[in-house]
Chain A
Amino acid sequence: DTEVTQTPKHLVMGMTNKKSLKCEQHMGHRAMYWYKQKAKKPPELMFVYSYEKLSINESVPSRFSPECPNSSLLNLHLHALQPEDSALYLCASSQNHGPNSPLHFGNGTRLTVT
C-alpha cells in the first residue's frame, strides 16, 4: 500500500464524457504532481503544484484540467478525451518541489477512452 491514494483504480470513458481523477496524501507534502504513463514507457510529467499553486504545465492539452483544492488533494478533470489519451495516470507528492525531494507515487488510475 502507498501513502498516496488515487481513485478510481480503473476508468472507462467515452470521448464525450466528463470525469475526474482524484489523489490524496496526508504526509504534509507541499508539492503534488500528475504523470501520464503509456505501456512500456517511463512516466511523463503533466503538471506540478507547489504550495497549492500550479507551477508547471508541460504543454498539456486543455482537455486535461488540474485542480488543487487544498494541500492534501489533487484532481485531474477530464473532458472530450481521445483514444490516445488511454494510459496509466499517476499522482505523486514530495516534501517540496526541489531536486533532493524524492517523489512518492500512488498506484495510478488506468484510463481507457473508447
Chain B
Amino acid sequence: AQSVTQLDSHVSVSEGTPVLLRCNYSSSYSPSLFWYVQHPNKGLQLLLKYTSAATLVKGINGFEAEFKKSETSFHLTKPSAHMSDAAEYFCVVSDLHGGSQGNLIFGKGTKLSVKP
C-alpha cells in the first residue's frame, strides 16, 4: 500500500533564504505525487505534480520538486522564501489500489513559517 511521510512538522526560514520541505513515499507502483499548499482558512491549492514524466517538476510561485526513485523522495524546494509562502504544505501520493484508485493519501503536513 502507498504511504507518505513528511519528515518535518514545522520548518522556519528567513525571508530570502532557501526552502526545503522533505517528503518520502512508499509505493509498490510508479506513483503519482503532488504538493499542495493551504493558507489559513483556505482550501488546498495544487503547487505541482509528478506523473512519471520529467523527474524535476516545476510548479507555481517558484516552487519545484525532484522525484528520486532510488531515495523514494519528493522534496519541495524554493530558492528564496517570501513572506506569502507561510502556510501548511501537504505531500500527497495517489492510491492505485482497487476501488480506491485515484484516492489521495496525504502526509501529515509541514507548517512553513517565514521570518522577516
Chain A positions within 8 Å of B, measured between CB atoms, are 2, 4, 6, 31, 40-43, 45, 48, 55-56, 90, 92, 94, 96-108, 110
Contact = CB atoms under 8 A, between A and B. Distances in A.
B32 interface: yes
B40 to A, nearest CB: 11
Contacts of A110: 41
Nearest to A105: B43
B101 A99 contact: yes
Nearest to A44: B106
Contacts of A31: 102
Contacts of A107: 41-43
A56 B43 contact: no
Contact of B94 (A41, A45, A90, A100): A100
A90 B43 contact: yes
Which of the four size classes fits the interface of chain B? 20 to 34
A101 B109 CA distance: 21
Contacts of B104: 45, 103
Nearest to B91: A42
B95 to A, nearest CB: 7
B116 interface: no
B32 A90 contact: no
Interface of B: 31-32, 34, 36, 41-46, 49, 51, 90, 94-96, 99-104, 106-109
B44 A105 contact: yes
A47 B108 CA distance: 20
A9 B45 CA distance: 17
Nearest to A9: B41
Contact of A56 (B32, B100, B109): B100
B32 A42 contact: no
B21 to A, nearest CB: 14
Nearest to B45: A105
Contacts of A104: 46
B46 A103 contact: yes
